[in-house]
Amino acid sequence: MSFDPVFTFGTIGAAALIGMGIAHALDDGSLALTQPIAASELVILGPGSFDHPQAGEFLKENHPVAAPVVQEIIEAPLEIMKYQVSVLDYGRCVADGACKSADTRKIGNIPVTGVSHIDAEAYATWLSARTGEVWRLPTDVEWAYAAGERFRGDIEGGEDDPNNPARRWLAQYRTETSLGRKPDPEPRAQAAFGINSKGLADVAGNVWEWTSTCFVHTTMASDGVKVASSIDNCGVHAVEGFHRTYMSNFIRDGKSGGCAVGTPPDNLGFRLVRDRTSLVQAALRRLGFS
Amino acid sequence: MLTRREALLGTVLTAAAVATVGAMPAVANAKDVAGLPREKVTLVPPPFVHAHDQVAKGGPKVVEFTMTIEEKPMIIDADGTQLNAMTYNGSVPGPLMVVHEGDYLELTLINPETNTLAHNIDFHAATGALGGGELTLVNPGEQVTLRFKATRSGTFVYHCAPGGSMIPWHVVSGMSGAVMVLPRDGLKDDKGKPVHYDRIYYIGENDFYIPRDEKGQFKKYESAGDNYDDTMKVMRGLIPTHVVFNGKAGSLTGDNAMKAKVGETILIVHSQANRDTRPHLIGGHGDFVWEQGKFANPPAKDLETWFIRGGSAGAALYTFLQPGIYAYVNHNLIEAVELGASAHFTVEGNWDDDLMMQVEAPKAIAS
C-alpha cells in the first residue's frame, strides 16, 4: 500500500517563498551577504511513502534475484528542481571557476549534458556556497519519488534459473529490445518532454540524471527479505531516466560508459534537491545548538 | 573417358570429376557457356545470405545476379551522423553472392540515372581486366553485364574501383561486398572431412572518414560530390571516425542481433575491403577458420581471434555450446566500443555447467 500526498508549487513564486521564508528566518547573518543568483524553480513534494525496487545488484543463495521492492518513506517535504540544471545555470558555475566546462555543444535554456557525477557534485557545492543553502543530488529513492509514474528502475531479466543463467541474460536483452527505445542524442529545450504528475519537467526524457546513490552488491538472507551483507562501490552511482543504470563517477558521455550490451543513456545531466533538514541542522550548529 | 566439354557441361559427371573441374586446364568458349544451365538468384541484404546449396547439385552453371547501385544518405551511428553512401543494391556492405567453384558468375550492374557518379566493380574472385573493373564502368543511366568463371574457391571481396582517388573514396563510401565460391563438394575441416553450417551470416566491416566542422561536429553534405575534398583530407590521416559492421554502429544488435541455438553451427563470412581487422566472438571461438578465406587451404582450428587483411574476406565456422548473449567484435576494442565495430548473437538453449559455472557469487573478501 502506498499513499502519496503531493504538494506541487511549480512556480518561481513558490520557490522564492520558500527561499525567503524558512531559509532566511534561520539565517545567522552570513546568508544575507550572498548575492542571490537566479532562483531555481522548485517543486515541493509532501511526505509520503511508496513501493520502490532497490538500486543495485542483488544475490540470493549465489544467484541473481530481482531487486527487492521496499516501502520507502519520504518524511520531510522534498524540494527538488522542476527542471534539470540548464546550460545557462551550469555556465555560471563554470564562469566562477568552480565547475569544469561541460562537454555540451549547445547553449541556452536546455539541460546541461556531458557532465559527470564529479561535475554535478561540484555544481551542488558551488550553488550551496553561492546561496547559503544546502543543495545536493537526490538519492535514488528521492528521484524515484519525484519521478512518479515515469520511474522505471532497472531493466530486469527476472528470476534467475539456477540451471541456466543465460535465460536471465536473454530475457533482459529481449525486454530491453522490446522497449524499442531509439537513440535520441540531441538535448531539447527545457520542458520539451513535458511535466509529470508531480510537476517535474523532462523526467525520463533523453537526459539521464545523476543521483547520490552508490552502486551496491547486496546478498539477501535466505528469507529473501533481510540483507545478509552488502558491499558499496561509490566510484559508481545510479543514474536515472528512461531506465535506471549505473555509471562510473567520471563518465560524461553515457554512451561510452556502459557495457558490451545494454541501452546506454543518451545524455548525462542532473537536477538537485534543496535540503532543508541539513540547512536547519547547519543553521542550528552555527547558532550553537547541536 | 570424359571429354573436357562433357565435364564442363556437366552431362556425365561423377562426384570425383566434379571435384577436379577447377583444376582442369579447360578453356570454354562463349558457345560452351551458352549451353550451361542458368540460375537466377535474387540477392538479400546482409547479414543474411541468399539460399544456396552447400554441396553443388549437378555440374557447373551460370549464376545470374543483378545489382542496382544506389547513391543515398545513410545514418551510420546513434548520433545521426550521415554518410553520403554509395551502395551496391542499397546496402552497406553490398550483398554476399554465393556460387560454386567452376560456376560462372554473371552480374548485371545497373547505375540508374538518378545517381551522379560513374561506378564499376572489381571482383577479387575474378581473373583479368582489373577484376572486371575495366569492363564494367557505367555512367548514370547505363547498365553492364559481366561474366567471370569462379576458378578458385573461397571468400573474396568485391568493390568499386573507378580509377585514381575515386577508388578509395568509393570504397570508404560503402561500395564493397563479398563473393563466396564454395568447393563443389562443400566445405571440409582440416582433415578433409565435410563440414556443414546451419546458418550463415555475412558481416561486412567498413571504415568511414567523416569530416568535422570547426566545433568538432560531424559535417553533413548535400551530395557525395560535396564531401570529396573534406573527406579526402580525413582519409589521408588514415584514422577512421567510424569502424562499423553492416553499415552502421549497432546495426546488428537489439532486434537485429543475429540468432542461433546451442548445437547449431554457423558460418560467419567477414569482409573488409580497405583495412585490417581482427574478429573475435566474445565467449566463443572459431572452430575452423579460413583466415585468408580460401577453402583450398585447410582451416585453422580453435582460434580466439582471427585476422582479416584489408582487401580480403575470411570465414569462420563455429558450433555454439552455451546459451546467452555473445558480442562479435573487431578486437581492437577501441574500434569495437568507441568506433562501432560490435554485433550481437542471441543464443538459446541449455546451459552446460561443465563448461562453466559461477562457483561462488561475489561476496566480501574472506578475511
Residue contact B323–A105, C-beta within 8 A: no
Residue with cell 552502421: B248
What pLDDT, in 10s, does the model give residues B182-200? 999 999 999 999 999 999 9
Containing A120, the helix (H) or strand (E) segment is: helix A117-131
Partner residue opposite A260 with nearest CB, options B216, B217, B327? B327
Per-residue pLDDT of chain A (290 residues; tens, 9 = 90+): 333 333 333 333 333 333 333 333 333 333 334 444 667 899 999 999 999 999 999 998 888 888 999 999 999 999 999 999 999 999 999 999 999 999 876 787 899 999 999 999 999 999 999 999 999 999 999 999 999 999 999 988 877 888 899 999 999 999 988 888 888 889 999 999 999 999 999 999 999 999 999 999 999 998 888 888 889 999 999 999 999 999 999 999 887 654 445 678 999 999 999 998 776 676 676 676 64
Active site residue B229: no
Choosing from B170, B242, B270, B285, the catalytic residue is B170
Would an 8 Å CB–CB cutoff place B310 in contact with chain A? no
| Separation CA B124–CA B155 (nearest Å) | 9
Q: How far apart are the first and last CA of chain B?
A: 82
Choosing from B103, B122, B205, B207, the catalytic residue is B122
Active site residue B305: yes
Choosing from B100, B124, B242, B344, the catalytic residue is B124
Cβ-contact A17, A77 below 8 angstroms: no
| Separation CA B101–CA B61 (nearest Å) | 10
Active site residue B331: yes
Residue contact A173–B338, C-beta within 8 A: no
Residue contact B360–A63, C-beta within 8 A: no
The DSSP code sequence of B217-254 is PBP--SSHHHHHHHHHHHHHTT--SEEEETTSTTTTSG
Q: Which CATH superfamily is domain B200-348 in?
A: Cupredoxins -  blue copper proteins (2.60.40.420)
| Separation CA B202–CA B191 (nearest Å) | 25
Average pLDDT, chain B: 92
pLDDT for position A19: 36
Q: Pick from B311, B314, B323: which is nearest to B351 by CA? A: B323
Could you state, in order of their start, the residue ranges of all structural domains in chain B? 9-14+36-182, 200-348
Chain B: closest CA distance from residue A217 (Å): 8
179-238 in chain B: CB under 8 A from chain A: 215-217
Handedness of CA B163, B167, B173, B174 (dihedral sign): positive
| Separation CA B273–CA B255 (nearest Å) | 27
Which residues of chain A does B322 touch, with a Cβ-Cβ cutoff of 8 Å?
166
Which residue of chain B is at minimal alpha-carbon distance from A264? B78
pLDDT for position A259: 46
Active site residue B170: yes
The whole model's pTM is what?
0.84
The DSSP code sequence of B34-76 is HTS-EEE-----TT------SS--SS--EEEEEEEEEEEEEE-
Partner residue opposite B351 with nearest CB, options A105, A166, A255? A166
Q: Is 2.60.40.420 the CATH classification of the domain at B9-14+36-182?
A: yes
pLDDT for position A289: 64
pLDDT for position B27: 60
Question: Which residues, in sequence order, are bridge partners of residue B328?
Answer: B281, B343
pLDDT for position A255: 76
* Alpha-carbon distance values, B4 to A160, B8, B20 (Å): 64, 6, 11
Chain B: closest CA distance from residue A285 (Å): 38
Q: Which has the minimum average pLDDT: B112-116, B278-282, B357-361?
A: B357-361
pLDDT for position A170: 93
Which residues of chain B does A217 touch, with a Cβ-Cβ cutoff of 8 Å?
362
Active site residue B66: no
Helix axes A117-131, A87-95, angle to 10 degrees: 70
| Separation CA B120–CA B148 (nearest Å) | 15
Residue contact A170–B337, C-beta within 8 A: no
Residue with cell 553472392: B97
Active site residue B356: no
Cell numbers standing for residue B132? 572486371
pLDDT for position A157: 83
| Count of other CB atoms within 10 angstroms of residue B225 | 12
Choosing from B100, B270, B331, B344, the catalytic residue is B331
Q: Pick from B7, B26, B25, B27: which is nearest to B16 by CA? A: B7
pLDDT for position A1: 34
| Separation CA B74–CA B173 (nearest Å) | 10
Which residue of chain B is at minimal alpha-carbon distance from A231? B364
Which residue of chain B is at minimal alpha-carbon distance from A162? B351
Decide: helix, strand or coil at residue A10: coil
| Separation CA B282–CA B344 (nearest Å) | 9
What pLDDT, in 10s, does the model give residues A17-69? 333 333 333 333 333 344 446 678 999 999 999 999 999 999 988 888 889 99
| Count of other CB atoms within 10 angstroms of residue B196 | 11
DSSP B156: E
Residue contact B362–A170, C-beta within 8 A: no
Q: Are strands B324-330 and B342-348 parallel, antiparallel or unpaired?
A: antiparallel
Would an 8 Å CB–CB cutoff place B87 in contact with chain A? no
| Separation CA B115–CA B88 (nearest Å) | 12
Would an 8 Å CB–CB cutoff place B82 in contact with chain A? no
Active site residue B166: no
Chain A: closest CA distance from residue B315 (Å): 23
Q: Which amino acid is at B284?
A: G
pLDDT over 60 at B35, yes or no = yes
Residue contact B342–A260, C-beta within 8 A: yes
What pLDDT, in 10s, does the model give residues B94-126? 999 999 999 999 999 999 999 999 999 999 999
Choosing from B280, B291, B335, B344, the catalytic residue is B280
Choosing from B67, B160, B180, B235, the catalytic residue is B160
| Separation CA A70–CA A68 (nearest Å) | 6
SS3 content of chain B, % helix, strand, coil (to 5): 15, 35, 50
Would an 8 Å CB–CB cutoff place B126 in contact with chain A? no
Active site residue B119: yes
Active site residue B280: yes
Choosing from B67, B86, B175, B258, the catalytic residue is B175
Cβ-contact A14, A45 below 8 angstroms: no
Partner residue opposite A185 with nearest CB, options B78, B322, B362? B78
One fold for B9-14+36-182 and B200-348:
yes
Mean pLDDT confidence for B239-261? 96
b/e B6-40 (16+ beta carbons within 10 angstroms → b): ebbbbeebeeebbbebbeeebebeeeebeebeeee
Q: Which has the minimum average pLDDT: A149-158, B167-176, B177-186?
A: A149-158
Mean pLDDT confidence for B49-62? 97
pLDDT for position B37: 97
| Separation CA A114–CA A133 (nearest Å) | 26
Residue contact A59–B361, C-beta within 8 A: yes
Pick among B253, B281, B282, B334 to test the A interface (most A CBs inside 10 A): B253
ipTM score? 0.82
